[in-house]
């Protein structure tokens, strides 16, 4: 299974470059490219071979301006720039707390043409500033500036009768037409942004039949929080991936370990950030602010704070990771977990080491042995974990979250679809 790392922060560029052999590609959000086009484009040029796609982020237009503003009350610069690239006055339509409807979105042909041109002009973006030349000189220019395919504008829909569903599908079809008219050899791909809750088999069939002419499909399961998920939702996600994989190459946007297991239903790739973006909801989180540093505990398939990890490793040393980063830093001594606080980039390297192994393990996926393993990890460690002082897994009162999710996963993965 492939890992396409989602690029989120300029500060991560160096570590991504160091980890490049562990990943298979990149996903570049369009607003980040719009805001910091020359450096982002130069970053892409710094690889000998790093396939990428550009997430057009058009669902942001379903938000009100109030959701997308900076502290001064203006539309965030990255989003404003992206909007201006797509359409001359779409940003002006965003006002106050008013949400746009499908009819406010510009003419499909016009809009798709701009979105196409935007994704297929990374090279020009890299060359707009002379300062960028130094990056190009330093890292060479081996990487292609052409995305793997073009992603059509997409919007979140609540049901298949939602007009946003129809609009997203029509934009996808329009992009197919544009791709063949342009003749650059680029296919049109789609992001299908939906909730895996409350879908019935009929709706799943309808989505699959509506999208059967597409060869690249990227499902984004809204708010698919793997730590808090019901087996029925897992089953729905598996059914969708299975149906779509019948005719298209499917890669999951925003995935943790659980959605990686849809490799068994045919998913070819997942994408997520460096320790963040394992799942994402429609709602926009305010920019800035540091994420707390967390350690990925391989057996738990989940992150814990460094202080939690310290506790856990002292009680159960067999949970310590033996990837090269951890072996070198921990030296077999759980006291050394604090050293990660000084070198947070090592937390990311460790995570990508483990994730690479998990992705490779999907090639020999065995449903029953995974289900058995998940239940056995729960049986062995749940009591221990749920009684720890556990501020990063607080539920309510004195209830702390333990490893219940592993049993939900086992139930959802085990069920026949």
Binding site for Zn ion (CB under 5 A): 321, 323, 326, 350
Nearest approach in angstroms of CB 330 to Zn ion is 8
- DSSP string covering 304-358, please? EEHHHHHHHHHH-GGGS--SHHHHHHHTT-GGGGGHHHH-HHHHHHHHHHHHHHH
Nearest approach in angstroms of CB 318 to Zn ion is 14
Distance of alpha carbon 205 from alpha carbon 246, whole angstroms: 12
Using an 8 Å Cβ cutoff, are 51 and 25 in contact? Answer: yes
> What does the DSSP 8-state code read for residue 74?
S
Nearest approach in angstroms of CB 351 to Zn ion is 8
The partner residues of 304 in beta bridges, in order of sequence, read: 295
Of the pair 224, 257, the CB lying nearest Zn ion is at 257
Of the pair 30, 326, the CB lying nearest Zn ion is at 326
Smallest CA-to-CA distance from 4 within 20, 279, 144 is with: 20
Nearest approach in angstroms of CB 346 to Zn ion is 9
Of the pair 111, 295, the CB lying nearest Zn ion is at 295
Smallest CA-to-CA distance from 323 within 359, 341, 350, 289 is with: 350
The partner residues of 296 in beta bridges, in order of sequence, read: 303
Of the pair 142, 324, the CB lying nearest Zn ion is at 324
Per DSSP, the three-state class of 39 is helix
- Residue 78 host element (H or E): helix 77-86
* Phi, psi angles (nearest 5°) of residue 143: -70, 145
Of the pair 23, 50, the CB lying nearest Zn ion is at 23
Of the pair 80, 326, the CB lying nearest Zn ion is at 326
Nearest approach in angstroms of CB 324 to Zn ion is 8
Distance of alpha carbon 353 from alpha carbon 347, whole angstroms: 10
CA–CA distances in Å: residue 72 to residues 34, 75, 81, 89, 329: 20, 9, 17, 21, 43
User: What is the C-alpha end-to-end distance of the chain, expressed in Å?
Assistant: 21
Of the pair 32, 359, the CB lying nearest Zn ion is at 359
Nearest approach in angstroms of CB 295 to Zn ion is 9
Q: Which long-range contacts (CB under 8 A, 24 or more apart) does 360-368 make?
A: 360/1, 362/1, 362/260, 362/261, 362/263, 362/264, 363/1, 363/263, 365/261, 365/263, 365/264, 367/264, 367/413, 367/414, 368/414
Nearest approach in angstroms of CB 87 to Zn ion is 46
Nearest approach in angstroms of CB 298 to Zn ion is 7
Nearest approach in angstroms of CB 358 to Zn ion is 12
Per DSSP, the three-state class of 75 is strand
Of the pair 195, 309, the CB lying nearest Zn ion is at 309
Of the pair 239, 350, the CB lying nearest Zn ion is at 350
């Amino acid at each position: 299974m492939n890992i396409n790392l989602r690029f989120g922060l300029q500060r991560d560029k160096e570590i991504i470059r160091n980890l490049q052999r562990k990943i298979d590609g990149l996903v570049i959000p369009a607003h980040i490219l719009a805001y910091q086009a020359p450096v982002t484009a130069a970053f892409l040029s710094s690889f000998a071979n790093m396939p990428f796609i550009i997430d057009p982020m058009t669902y942001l237009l379903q938000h009100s301006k109030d959701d997308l503003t900076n502290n001064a009350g203006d539309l965030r610069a990255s989003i404003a720039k992206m909007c201006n690239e797509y359409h001359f006055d779409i940003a002006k339509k965003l006002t106050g707390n008013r949400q746009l409807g499908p009819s406010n979105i510009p003419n499909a042909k016009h809009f798709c043409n701009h979105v196409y041109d935007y994704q297929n002009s990374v090279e020009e973006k890299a060359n707009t500033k002379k300062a960028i030349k130094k990056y190009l000189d330093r890292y060479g220019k081996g990487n292609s500036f052409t995305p793997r395919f073009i992603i059509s504008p997409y919007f979140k829909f609540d049901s298949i009768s939602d007009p946003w569903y129809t609009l997203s599908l029509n934009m996808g079809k329009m992009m197919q037409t544009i791709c063949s008219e342009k003749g650059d050899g680029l296919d049109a791909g789609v992001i299908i942004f939906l909730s895996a809750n409350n879908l019935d088999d009929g709706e799943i069939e309808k989505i699959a039949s509506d999208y059967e002419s597409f060869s690249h499909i990227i499902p984004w399961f809204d708010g698919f929080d793997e730590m808090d998920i019901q087996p029925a939702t897992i089953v729905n996600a598996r059914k969708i991936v299975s149906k779509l994989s019948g005719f298209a190459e499917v890669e999951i946007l925003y995935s943790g370990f659980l959605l990686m297991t849809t490799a068994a239903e045919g998913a070819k790739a997942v994408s997520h950030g460096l320790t963040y973006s394992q799942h994402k909801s429609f709602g926009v989180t305010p920019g800035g602010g540091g994420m707390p540093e967390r350690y990925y505990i391989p057996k738990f398939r989940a992150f814990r704070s460094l202080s939690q990890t310290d506790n856990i490793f002292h009680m159960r040393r067999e949970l310590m990771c033996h990837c090269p980063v951890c072996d070198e830093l921990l030296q077999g001594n759980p006291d050394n977990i604090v050293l990660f606080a000084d070198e947070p980039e090592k937390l990311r390297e460790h995570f990508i080491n483990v994730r690479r192994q998990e992705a490779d393990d999907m090639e020999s996926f065995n449903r029953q042995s995974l289900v058995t393993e998940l239940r056995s990890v729960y049986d062995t460690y749940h009591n221990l974990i749920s009684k720890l002082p556990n501020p990063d897994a607080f539920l309510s009162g004195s209830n702390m979250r333990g490893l219940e999710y592993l049993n939900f996963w086992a139930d959802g993965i085990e069920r026949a679809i």
